[in-house]
Amino acid sequence: MNKDKQDKIKKLLEMQKKFIALDREKGVEASEYFAPDDSSEMSGFKEQYRDLAMEIVDLAHEEKGSKK
């Protein structure tokens, strides 16, 4: 596994832990997750997480020589 992919997986796991901690601490409403205010801790989270996950998928396909 290349270093870039490892770093992205590490970042993804950190984001998951942060989300879980925030949810346990305050609770996260669906509206906060799907349509957060700009000042919300959740602002941009969903998009950043999605983009990072897709980059990992692309790297995995690249490593295996497969296609999506």
State the pLDDT at residue 16: 96
Answer for the pair 42, 28: CB distance below 8 angstroms, yes or no.
yes
Query: In the chain, which ranges are E strands?
Result: none
Across the range 28-54, mean pLDDT stands at 92
Answer for the pair 59, 9: CB distance below 8 angstroms, yes or no.
no
Domain extent, residue 24, equals 3-64
**In whole angstroms, what is the distance from residue 59 CA to residue 4 CA?**
9
Across the range 11-19, mean pLDDT stands at 95
Answer for the pair 19, 28: CB distance below 8 angstroms, yes or no.
yes
Mean pLDDT, rounded, of the chain: 91
- The structural domain count of the chain equals 1
